[in-house]
Amino acid sequence: MTLAALGSARLWHVAVPGWTMLGLALIAAALGLMLWATLTMLAARTNPLPHTQPSALVTTGPFRFSRNPIYLGDVLIVCGASLWAGAPLGLLCAAVLVVILRARFILPEEGRLRAAFGAAVDPWMQAVPRWV
């Protein structure tokens, strides 16, 4: 999706000094966030793959700041790739990705967390934002 979007978005290419470095920095930060979240989930002995039943409620590491740091990383990678390519229209793909991730992954995962852990998830869900 990202590559297709960047290809078409390059029709409106904007060369802005610093965007390339900002884009690469955003991609690197996103990959670091995703790795941190995955390692935190593995340390809690729960599966980081989507659409699986959780075995632990993870509220430490990056999950203190975002309920969905891996999906946040996905969106940041799309934003970073768009900036790196000088294709600001690619940022629209990030907005579309947010909608898709929410509907297809986040809402079902929140349902599985509630089913597995009941009211124990409520304080965390109220205190920690879905994204940032």
pLDDT digits (tens, 9 = 90+) for 14-44: 677 788 899 999 999 999 999 999 999 999 9
Residue predicted with more confidence, 42 or 2: 42
Return the pLDDT at 60. 98
Whether residue 2 is predicted with pLDDT greater than 70 in this model: the reply is no
Return the pLDDT at 6. 52
pLDDT tens digits for 35-91?
999 999 999 999 999 999 999 999 999 999 999 999 999 999 999 999 998 888 889
Instruction: Categorise residue 89: left if φ over 0, alpha if ψ from -120 to 50, beta otherwise.
Output: alpha
| pTM listed for this prediction | 0.88
Return the pLDDT at 3. 55
Residue predicted with more confidence, 97 or 2: 97
Return the pLDDT at 22. 94
Residue at 72: amino acid letter: L
| CA pair distance 70, 108, nearest whole angstrom | 15
How many whole angstroms from its chain centre is CA 97? 9
| CA pair distance 70, 129, nearest whole angstrom | 14
How many whole angstroms from its chain centre is CA 72? 2
Whether residue 10 is predicted with pLDDT greater than 60 in this model: the reply is no
Return the pLDDT at 132. 93
**Residues contacting 114, CB < 8 A, separation 6+:** 121
- Mean pLDDT on 5-20: 65
Return the pLDDT at 18. 84
Nearest Cα neighbor of 34 from 71, 76, 74, 70 is 70
Q: Find where tokens 């965390």 sit.
A: 124
